[in-house]
Amino acid sequence: MVSVEWRRIPTVLLPQEIVDKAFRKASKMAALVEDPDKYHRVRKQMNRMVQSSSDTIATTLLDWVDRWPSLNALPLFDQALIDASVGADDYRKNLGGIQWGAEQVRRIAGRIQSEMLRIRDISGFHESRRSAYGRFASILDQLEPQLEWLNKARDRLRELPSIDPANPCIVVAGAPNVGKSALITALSSGEPEVAAYPFTTKRLHLGHFTHRRRKYQMVDTPGLLDRPNIERNAIEMQAIAALENTGDIVLFLIDPSGSGGTPLNEQLSLLDEVKGLISARRFILVRSKADIDAPSLPDSMPVSSIDGTGLEELRSTIVSSIAADVVEDPLNLPSDWHREDIGIDL
C-alpha cells in the first residue's frame, strides 16, 4: 500500500484554460514546419496542430488521473477518509469521466488526421483543423462538471492527514478532554500536524517520534472513538473498521479524576466498547493527568503531559509492544537496518 501525500495532488485546470494551453502549443509547433511547397507545408502544419493539441489535452487529463490516488491502491483508512470527505463513488465517477475525455480527444484526432489524407485542397486542411479544435473544445465543455468537482475535491483532500502505512501507527483514543492531543504533543519529536478530520467537525492531531531511525506515528480520533456506538453514523463506523488495518496499537486514555467531564464509569464502558470494535489491536491503558490526585486505575500506566511523568516509560512500552525492529532471522537483516552498536547502516 502506498502513502498518500494529499498536498501534492495537482491543480486542475478548467476547460478554457486547457483549450488555451493546447492551442497555444499547437501554434508554436506549426511554426516549426518548413516546406517550400505551400500545399505540403499547410498539410503538415494542420496535421501537426491537430496532433499537438490532442496530445496536450489528453496528456493533461491523463496526468490528473495518474496523479490522483487510485482508491484500490490505498490503505482502507485512506479510502475511508476519501469516502467521508468527497464520496468514494463520486471520486471514481469523476476521474473516470476525465479518462473518457482523454480517450475521446485522441479518437477524434486520429479520425481527423485520416480524413486529411484524402483532402486535395489547402482550404480543406484548414477546415479539418478547425473541426478538430471545435470537437476538442466540445469534449472539454462536457467535462466541465467533472473538472469543477475535482477542483473542489482537491481543496478538501489537501487538508487530510497523511499516514504512512510503512511505519508503525499508534491510535490514541479516549473520552473527550482526557488529554489525547496533549499526550501526542508531549511524545512527539516536533510540533504535531493539525489536519482536517472528515468524520467529525473537529481537527486531528498527527504526531510522531523516532526510535532507531524508525518513525512512530501517533494519531488521535476526535469524535470517532470518544462517544458511545449509538451516537456514531455509518461513515464513522466505516472509519473505525478501517482502523483495524491502520493502527498497530491503541493507547486508550482514562482520566480517573473526571476533570474532563466524563465520569470514570462511562470511560470504562467506552473502553469495553472500543475494544469490541477494534478487537485485532493490542490496547495499552494509560492513566492520563497523573499529576492530579485521583482514584487508582489497575493495569494502567500513569502519565502526565504536564510534568512528564511516565512519558519515557510509555514510549519504551510502545516500541517494545509494536516490535517493529524485531528480526526473525538475524542472518537476513533488512537493507536499511541500523546497527546501533557501531552507528552505521548495513
Is residue 327 pLDDT above 80, yes or no? no
* Bigger pLDDT: 73 vs 104: 104
Sheet holding 193-196, edge to edge: 193-196, 203-211, 214-220, 169-174, 249-254, 282-287, 301-302
Cell 503538415 belongs to residue: 44
Is 237 or 250 the better-scoring residue by pLDDT?
250
Same domain as 122, residue 14: yes
Buried b (16+ CB within 10 A) or exposed e, 269-293: ebbeebeebbeebebbbbbbbbeee
The more confidently predicted of residues 101 and 232 is 101
**Three-state secondary structure call for residue 168:** coil
Residue 132 in any domain: the answer is: yes
- Is residue 12 a contact partner of residue 151, using CB atoms and an 8 Å limit? yes
One domain, residues 175 and 153: no
| CB proximity list for 146: less than 8 A, separation 6 or greater | 94, 97, 98, 101
Shared-domain flag, residues 123 and 234: no
Question: 127 and 244: one domain?
Answer: no
Residues 318 and 184 in one domain: yes
**Does pLDDT of 114 surpass 90?**
yes
pLDDT digits (tens, 9 = 90+) for 191-248: 888 887 787 767 778 899 999 889 999 988 887 888 887 888 877 777 777 777 778 8
Same domain for 174 and 105:
no
Q: Residue 334 falls within a domain, yes or no?
A: no
Number of independent structural domains in the chain: 2
47 residue type, one letter? N
Are 169 and 247 in contact, with CB atoms under 8 Å apart?
Answer: yes
The last residue of one of the domains, among 157, 187, 208, is 157
Residue 274, domain member (yes or no): yes
Domain with 267 in it: what CATH number? 3.40.50.300
Q: Is the pLDDT of residue 181 over 70?
A: yes
The C-alpha angle with vertex 43 and arms to 39 and 44, in degrees rounded to 5, equals 120
Instruction: List the single range of 245-259, 303-317, 331-345 with lowest mean pLDDT.
Output: 331-345
| Digit-coded pLDDT (tens) for 7-52 | 888 889 999 999 999 999 999 999 999 999 999 999 999 999 999 9
Mean pLDDT for the stretch of residues 80-93: 91
The domain that holds 61 is classified in CATH as 1.20.120.1190
Query: E strands along the chain, which residues?
Result: 169-174, 193-196, 203-211, 214-220, 249-254, 282-287, 301-302, 338-339, 344-345
Whether 113 and 236 share a structural domain: no
Identify whether residues 208 and 73 lie together within a single domain: no
Please give the model's pTM, rounded to 2 decimal places. Answer: 0.77
Highest mean pLDDT among 105-119, 237-251, 331-345: 105-119
For residue 329, tell me if it sits in a domain: no
Task: Indicate whether 140 and 192 sit together in one domain.
Answer: no
C-alpha distances in Å from residue 13, one per residue of 18, 20, 103, 109, 144: 6, 11, 18, 21, 10
62 within some domain: yes
Residue 226 has a CB neighbour count (10 Å cut-off) of: 24
Last residue of a domain, one of 157, 179, 214: 157
Boundary residue ending a domain (104, 122, 157): 157
In a domain, 328, yes or no: no
Whether residue 106 is found in the same domain as residue 229: no
Report if residue 23 sits inside a domain. yes
Are residues 61 and 105 part of one domain? yes
Same domain membership, residue 125 and residue 215? no
Domain housing 230: 169-322
Query: Would 332 be classed as within a structural domain?
Result: no
Query: pLDDT exceeding 90 applies to what percent of the chain?
Result: 55
Kindly give, in sequence order, each residue whose CB lies less than 8 Å from that of residue 289, ignoring residues fewer than 6 positions away.
Answer: 178, 179, 255, 257, 259, 304, 305, 306
